[in-house]
Each structure stands twice: as C-alpha cells, then as structure tokens.
Amino acid sequence: MDRIALVTGGTRGIGHAISTALKDMGVTVAANYGGNDEAANAFREETGIAVFKFDVGDFEACKAGIAQIEADIGSIDILVNNAGITRDKPLHKMDPDHWNAVITTNLSSAFNTTRNVIEGMRERGFGRIINISSINGQKGQFGQANYSAAKAGLIGFTKAVALETAAKGITCNAIAPGYIATEMVKAVPEEILNSKILPFIPTGRLGEPEEIGRCVAFLASDEAGFITGSTLTANGGQYMT
C-alpha cells in the first residue's frame, strides 16, 4: 500500500504494535516519540522504521516535526494520534500539573498534529486520522479524572473532524482500547489490577498490543472509506457501548 503514516508515541507499547501493523500492510511509517531515546533506537534497529523525536504537546514542535517527516519521507496520508501518559490520582489529590500534563499530551496533541496535516490531506483528497481513546474515556475511571476527560475529549474531536472532512476523502475515527498488556497498565498497583480491573474483563485477560494494531490497520486501509466518526471498542467485553 503506497501510503505514509505518522504514529505518535509510535515506538513503545500500543504505538509499537500500531507502527509494525501498518508497516506489515506496506505503509511507510514515521514513528514519533517524546523522550526515551534508548527505546526509540532499539525500536528503529528492530523494525527498520524511522523515528522522529518531538513533543506532541507543543504546537510549534509538531509543525517542525511534521515538516521534517514530509521532507524526509513524503506527505502524511495516515495519522495515528496514539501518544499518551497517565498521572493517576483521585481528584482530591490531583494538582494542576497532573491535570495539565495529561490534557496537553493526550488531547491537545491531537489538535497539534492534526492541524498540521489536515490542509495537505484536504488538498490531496485522502486521509485517515485515527485517535487512540480509551475505555476510561467512555466509562470514567477511579483516579483518572484527567485521563478520562482527555480520552472522552478525543471522541468529540473525532466526530467533529469526521463531519468536516467526510466530503474530502478523509476519515476520522477513534479506537477505545480496554486494558492492554503494556508498561502503562503494568504500572497500576497489582492489588488494584487484581481486585478492581481483571475480574471485570469478561474475556479474563488483558488485551495484547497487536490486537489494537490490527484495529488501526483496518481503519487505515483504503477499503475503510465508508467508516468515519465511529469509535471502535476493543476491551474484552469490559464495557459495551
């Protein structure tokens, strides 16, 4: 498939699986990362995928990073807004720093990247924008007022952008993963994971990053052109929308 993709947070966790799933379908991938050079270099050596370091929470950094990708590789046809962080605290213990960091990296980032690719997609009459939301943006989660707000915000963003771009050959969809076996989920205290999360996943297991990679590959394909503004949930039955 003769397309070029940018995957934010594309070198680790779910992002790693998304980057490789797109590569496996013949897409040329640029994987963005924020700070972990060691992981990014290991990813580049393992996969042969080019990596680009910039802060998705910073509009000007995104503008420069995307210009660099377009100069090095070509115009971006597929954008996957995957980068995300957690700063879990109950609201009564949450500081403005915890709120702002999560809203900036998980939600404002989608504006920062999408705004910098949307004009090119409109001119070329093709685009695939895929926003990685979360089950916790759909149902809320104890300790995640910031993260749930950001991930719910991505679903509203998805629908508005889908409406604006449907007539231009561009689709915009969200994916809402449940609990996937990544470092982010492994950071949840074990007793909370075992008592409050795992018992409520009907499949009886965490998801695998590759299972989300395959969702992205489907929505990114040329054949998925009639699907826009939707949220694809992949959560083992934990929350049915």
Q: Which residues are catalytic?
A: 147
Q: C-beta of 128: minimal distance to ligand CAA in Å?
A: 22
Q: C-beta of 196: minimal distance to ligand CAA in Å?
A: 4
CA nearest neighbour of 143 among 211, 88, 189, 204 = 88
The 8-class DSSP code of residue 207 comes to B
Q: Binding to ligand CAA (CB under 6 A): which residues in 43-82?
A: none
User: What beta strand segments (E) does 78-214 contain?
Assistant: 78-81, 127-132, 170-177
Closer to ligand CAA by Cβ: residue 42 or 192: 192
Backbone angles phi, psi at 128, to 5 degrees: -130, 120
Closer to ligand CAA by Cβ: residue 116 or 144: 144
Q: Binding to ligand CAA (CB under 6 A): which residues in 140-159?
A: 141-144, 147
Q: C-beta of 144: minimal distance to ligand CAA in Å?
A: 5
Decide the pairing of beta strands 231-234 and 170-177.
parallel
CA nearest neighbour of 218 among 30, 22, 32 = 22
Q: Which residues contact 21 (CB under 8 A, 6 or more apart)?
A: 210, 213, 214, 216, 217
Q: C-beta of 102: minimal distance to ligand CAA in Å?
A: 10
Q: How many residues bind ligand CAA (CB under 6 A)?
A: 20
Q: How far is CA 107 from the centre of its chain?
A: 10
Closer to ligand CAA by Cβ: residue 77 or 88: 88
How many Cα atoms are found within 13 Å in the side-chain-facing hemisphere of 190? 0
Q: Binding to ligand CAA (CB under 6 A): which residues in 172-231?
A: 179, 184-185, 188-189, 192, 196
Which stretch in 22-30, 37-45, 110-118, 135-143 sits in contact with ligand CAA by CB under 6 A?
Answer: 135-143
Per CB under 6 A, residues contacting ligand CAA are 86, 88-90, 93, 134-136, 141-144, 147, 179, 184-185, 188-189, 192, 196
